[in-house]
Amino acid sequence: MKFAVHILAGLLLVLATTNGKIYNKCELAKAMKISGLDGFRGYSLPNWVCTAYYESRFNTNATNLNTDGSTDYGILQINSRWWCNNGKSPTRNACNINCDVLLKDDITQALTCAKRVVSDPNGMAAWYVLTLSIHTSIPDDSSNCLTCKEQ
């Protein structure tokens, strides 16, 4: 019986680590604000939160395979062709990081890389969702991010 409990606990641990963390809007907004994203290169905190919402639904473990063979990683879906190294597809690795880092629950390095992304001439247009002109309407569950109560 003890063996079965240990197996079940191990399985649950694996499942928990492979699902990633799904942030709530206020928790994400706080992390983004602390990292200095609010106002960085002229982009407001709601711009960033909205991007994360549409790209990953706030999921740190989100991945998306693209038709060019590259993959988008993490809460902001940062692309392996330009920004990180996944060891599979050709990359410029402009953020000088492994793509796996972008899947961690701690999003510090993902946010640092996002600053690098928007420092390029394309700015936030590097994110596909922003080329769809949906970034002008913040989803209901992403509004008022700066008024979240401290926990």
DSSP three-state, residue 72:
strand
The DSSP 8-state label assigned to residue 89 in this structure reads S
Averaged pLDDT score across all residues of the chain: 82
- The Cα 104–Cα 90 span in angstroms is 22
Handedness of CA 135, 140, 141, 144 (dihedral sign): positive
Is there a catalytic annotation at residue 105? Answer: no
Which residues are within 8 A (CB) of 138 and not within 5 positions of it... i.e. 6 or more apart? 46, 49, 50
The pLDDT value given to residue 48: 93
Is there a catalytic annotation at residue 68? Answer: no
Q: How confident is the model at residue 105 (pLDDT cuts 50, 70, 90)?
A: very high
What is the phi-psi region of residue 87: left when phi exceeds 0, alpha when psi lies from -120 to 50, beta otherwise? left
Q: Per residue in 53-91, pLDDT tens? A: 989 999 999 999 999 999 999 999 999 999 999 999 899
The pLDDT value given to residue 42: 94
Q: Per residue in 12-56, pLDDT tens? A: 333 444 679 999 999 999 999 999 999 999 999 988 998 999 899
Higher-confidence position of 1 and 76? 76
Domain ranges of the chain: 22-142
Higher-confidence position of 7 and 95? 95
Among candidate residues 38, 72, 105, 106, the one labeled active-site is 72
Q: Per residue in 119-141, pLDDT tens? A: 999 999 999 776 665 544 544 44
Among candidate residues 27, 38, 55, 140, the one labeled active-site is 55
The pLDDT value given to residue 151: 35
Class of domain 22-142: mainly alpha
The pLDDT value given to residue 114: 98
